[in-house]
Structure 1
């Protein structure tokens, strides 16, 4: 089967359908001798911000369309061509490209609502050239770390905010003198005419709305208030009671690496998420729920997504991040090891294909040891790499570690008909889970799934059939499953909405056939 692109808002999953040999697969025993399996829900968008889950969180940020990581392009109004980092970086800026590609994209690093660094394709920053006797008015993209010379103010026209001027650190505006000569030596003027070489048309796209963006966007004065109010209101004790009363037995809680430095995490992150996690454990114990702590955002980002704590889409996690990442796991396990609700620690969420398998396994080995240093009973969840065709690549490795779990995320919104979607679930979903579920290997877990698909205007009954098919497929998963997510402004992404509106019912019976009213 061809590769199927699957879209989760603001970033892309690649779910590769591959030929799996499952004829010898034997379903392992349940995760516990009493037959316990996770029937859980993710508390997404709570302790790791995802703007698409609750967009209103970003409403009060000034210039909220220019957050960290936003991709911008600039067209000179005088020459009608794109501002560009020649060769993608390492040399001068020009304005000679009639069409935009990678060299014409600038990623924003936000300093405040009007002041930014501009990062180019090769990860260098645009700045004034002050070397070798240069007058400091010519523009280059050379520095890997931004300084004062790499700082720019974007001034927008109040009536037409896509018209901008860009002021350099020398106090002058950028202007396009010729297609090959861009300088910072214009004083600007009062008008915004199309013959002014200091005026650009700015367009923005690929906006990031994660924890870095919201905290840096609000800044050090407002961010603590906004985030603490969110943590105290988005998920509350009553939610845990409701989860328990509706046939679920666990919560998977995404956290970011900065939680280990609470109450004084590195800027721009703010303290308070650890207190919220402490509350979650209190509530879980009170209402009989198990907790899976999921390191959703690793230091320097393991996947380049905003939900990985990334600033601008760069993937920086690697060998030099291992010790810090293991330290986070050590901190979290030590803190909650004695709490009876701690069920599992997920070492890292969704590493991508470009993360070296050897480095991922090296980290998983060290992370497992960190968990076992404090707990002999907590399960250790290891995510498969996103985009990998061979979903079994971790099986021999994970089989060496007692109490290990393999997490595969299963999403389907690539098919546009009901039957195609059901067929996909009955083939790929089941084949995938059979492949990673063996009698002598790690337990298998669907850490994320959702009742969202590509069928437009589907009826309630069709949604119910879709959910039922998924749950039947997930019966193979020996560790269990967790819906993504509890609350969401998009109805079908919200398990709370799905249950309250009769799409799913987990309370009638433990049997799959009784989960749904159809």
Structure 2
């Protein structure tokens, strides 16, 4: 049957219209599907900020917290060296401990360094390299050694400072005598009377402070219980508030990582010197998070005995003693407490079993055993909460935790990336070299960690700070942009360290408000 040209044109136009309409509809559907996939992926990524220095104190984040402590330069873990002003040589625990204390070294190192245990202002105990304590035999009147495994009265001294020069000190023992250096071969505790401060006095020592710690143990023991409770209560109630959760929510942050210490499980009456109150604050954080559609990762940042020797691990003196079986059991008890309390809470995203265990110092077998037990502990209370396992810091295989994750569900490996702390790699890097390092080495490492059947990956700590001096605002912006781009590819997400800090570039709040970080 024939068809007129007009009808043919009309039919062709109709067909073209239908094809175009179908194509447009398909494109729109495709775009919506693609957008939907992107949205789905974006909701799986957790853009987080750490609430560091809040429920687990780190003095460098807010140094003013320590201002009211008497002799706040002699807190627990302060490392000192003592030089006899008469002999001109340094005090040393021979063999690092288990032997006499002599005064015969010209160059101080580990055996010549003593770690303070603070009893109260002015009264201290001194721990040596092999973990024994300096002691005056028979309470004084004879030799000084370093043989005691635990300190008692004979290992407790007054350090009396020269009012005109606080580095000059006398060390008074329990019987009222003073330590003195009459001979390089042996320190004795037999100076009677009141020593003077002249250079010929064998009881006068020049004290050098070569390391300090300002963590939760130091602030609690430094202020002592009543004052510590007052100072920390004020800090916890004002440092992080609900307004901060509003700020984070308004700036695309959907998760917070909250560092806590093991003593939170004993709140409101934790073991000395820690003071109660952190659990109440954490409860508030969960309430605020739920109200403002933010998820919470609770991070066991400080473990008993210290997993890395740093102040943020709750360490008293910098030694790593977490691997003691009692400390591991206490850590698991803390995880059990946290999982039982928050496992069914709608705001809980995950529980991190341990922050930054150090290599060397923490054996991988001990760590994976603990992580396995910690996973089972969390699963007793929640079938779905993410169980987060932090990689060891220091020399370690970035995939060393992968094999133990086989067969486990909802697990995450936490990696921490800083262009800091490693002088060999970062000290002399330029702006462009730092940015290239992020886009090349870090990106390659992250890609190697993201596997189809492995654990998810969280960049649990990073910061837009480096070892570059006098970087411009534009330099910092580009550095932050590079990290946001690369770490945004992590399969679980990232967490900036930290929300608020007196050091501006470490403060997410300051960096966002001043447009150094552009989300």
Is the structural similarity TM-score above 0.5? yes
TM-score (norm 2): 0.89
Equivalent residue number for residue 112 of structure 2: 104
Distance, in Å, in 2 between the alignment partners of 1:217 and 1:111 is: 9
Which digits, 9 at most, give the CA deviation of each residue in 1:315-369, with x for residues without a partner?
0011502221111111001101221100010000001112111111111111001
Distance, in Å, in 1 between the alignment partners of 2:39 and 2:159 is: 55
Matched residue SS, 2:111: helix
Structure 1 counterpart of 2:183, from 178, 188, 210: 178
For residues 255-334 of structure 1, the aligned pairs below 5 Å read 255-320=260-325, 321-334=327-340
Query: How far did residue 85 of structure 1 move?
Result: 1.0
Matched residue SS, 1:185: strand
Equivalent residue number for residue 153 of structure 2: 148
Structure 2 counterpart of 1:360, from 335, 354, 367: 367
Could you tell me whether the CA contact under 8 Å between 1:40 and 1:481 is conserved in 2? yes
Q: Higher relative contact order by CA 8 Å / sep ≥ 6: 1 or 2?
A: 1
Equivalent residue number for residue 128 of structure 1: 136
Distance, in Å, in 1 between the alignment partners of 2:499 and 2:404 is: 32
Could you tell me whether the CA contact under 8 Å between 1:294 and 1:345 is conserved in 2? yes
For residues 489-508 of structure 1, the aligned pairs below 5 Å read 489-506=502-519
Distance 1:364 1:399, change over 3 A: same
Distance, in Å, in 2 between the alignment partners of 1:151 and 1:34 is: 58
Could you tell me whether the CA contact under 8 Å between 1:107 and 1:312 is conserved in 2? yes
Distance, in Å, in 2 between the alignment partners of 1:323 and 1:466 is: 42
Could you tell me whether the CA contact under 8 Å between 2:48 and 2:257 is conserved in 1? yes
Matched residue SS, 1:183: strand
Query: How far did residue 123 of structure 1 move?
Result: 0.7
Paired residue total:
475
Distance, in Å, in 2 between the alignment partners of 1:461 and 1:90 is: 56
Listed as ranges, the gaps of 5+ residues in structure 1 are: 1-28, 507-518
Distance, in Å, in 1 between the alignment partners of 2:344 and 2:485 is: 34
For residues 151-162 of structure 1, the aligned pairs below 5 Å read 151-162=156-167
Query: How far did residue 402 of structure 1 move?
Result: 0.5
Superposition RMSD in Å: 1.6
Listed as ranges, the gaps of 5+ residues in structure 2 are: 1-36, 421-425
Structure 1 counterpart of 2:341, from 335, 340, 343: 335
Query: How far did residue 427 of structure 1 move?
Result: 1.8
TM-score (norm 1): 0.89
Which digits, 9 at most, give the CA deviation of each residue in 1:379-433, with x for residues without a partner?
0000111113420111121132100001100111315311111111112211221
Matched residue SS, 1:421: helix
Matched residue SS, 2:458: strand
Could you tell me whether the CA contact under 8 Å between 1:246 and 1:505 is conserved in 2? no
Say if 2:113 is the partner of 1:113.
no
Say if 2:246 is the partner of 1:241.
yes
Query: How far did residue 181 of structure 1 move?
Result: 2.8
Distance, in Å, in 1 between the alignment partners of 2:293 and 2:183 is: 69
Could you tell me whether the CA contact under 8 Å between 2:309 and 2:320 is conserved in 1? yes
Name the one with the larger helix percent.
Answer: 2
Distance, in Å, in 2 between the alignment partners of 1:443 and 1:182 is: 57
Could you tell me whether the CA contact under 8 Å between 2:140 and 2:174 is conserved in 1? no
Equivalent residue number for residue 392 of structure 2: 385
Matched residue SS, 2:154: helix
Query: How far did residue 84 of structure 1 move?
Result: 1.1
Matched residue SS, 2:333: helix
Query: How far did residue 142 of structure 1 move?
Result: 0.2
